Amino acid sequence: MTNSWDQWHPDRTISCRGLPRIGALVGLDNRAWRVTAVEPLPREDWTAEQQALVEHHGITAVPRAVLLQPIQPGGQEAGPCERYIAHEGTRWDVYIDEHIPYCGHCLEPTPCRERYAAELARRAMSRLERYETPGVCPACWEPVTQRQKCITFDENIELSGGPPVTFHARARCRGEAIDYERRWVSADPEHRHPPSTARAGW
């Protein structure tokens, strides 16, 4: 399985950019589809956003209408074709062959919505656990000692009412600390400067 779990990627697919070939099987919106046509989109049908993309990126951003036929287990058609607007930079999850794995319970391409939602919930809980223990760096899960350079955020934006969040200032933890600080500033406009609880060296 190649799922990063930040967005749905069907099993047994390769993620690629560009316009899909006619006949390719793609995964989109928790369904399997066969590409039946790729057609130019008349300029009068372009949105202002599409026009701006073409002006900025050139020919690779020209919108095309990709006609997709929904496919059910066994390869039969599962309804009328739907039109999807795409361009050369659109990302597609293309099945490596005709053998599409389906969930035996709900018959959706795997991972199905139920399994995907359960995994997202598990990962969210795992992420929150990193912010539950005071004095433990969420980036490396190791205690922060008095001798170590660090930065502490008194407000825990990941876990409401949770303990202050302390990161090591060392290189391997610093990236997550900087990311947390960005979210901390975004959460409250008053957070314009790093917290005063940074130990020397931050």
The pLDDT tens digits for 83-142 are: 999 999 999 999 999 999 999 999 999 999 999 889 888 888 887 888 988 999 999 999
Q: Burial-class residue 13 by CB neighbours within 10 Å (0-12, 13-18, 19+).
A: buried
Average pLDDT in the chain:
88
Beta bridge partners of 82: 68
Q: Is residue 151 part of a domain?
A: yes
Domain assignment present for residue 196? The answer is: no
Task: Name the more confident of 85 and 189.
Answer: 85
pLDDT in tens, 50-95: 999 999 999 999 999 999 999 999 888 888 999 999 999 999 999 9
In the structure, what pLDDT confidence band is assigned to residue 201 with cuts at 50, 70 and 90? very low
- Tens of pLDDT, residues 84-97: 999 999 999 999 99
Give the pLDDT of residue 64.
Answer: 96
In this prediction, residue 200 carries a pLDDT of 45
Q: Is residue 35 part of a domain?
A: yes
Q: Is the pLDDT of residue 202 over 60?
A: no
* Domain contains 172: yes
What CA–CA distance (Å, rounded) separates 88 from 131? 41
Looking at the fold, whether 134 and 180 belong to one and the same domain comes out as: yes
Both 35 and 107 in one domain: the answer is: yes
Which of 101, 121, 141 is a domain's end point? 121
**Is 57 within the bounds of a domain?**
yes
Q: Where are the alpha helices (DSSP H) in the chain?
A: 48-57, 113-129, 171-187
Note the pLDDT of residue 2. Answer: 36
Give the pLDDT score at 125: 84
The total domain count for the chain is 2
- In the 8-state DSSP scheme, what is residue 141? -
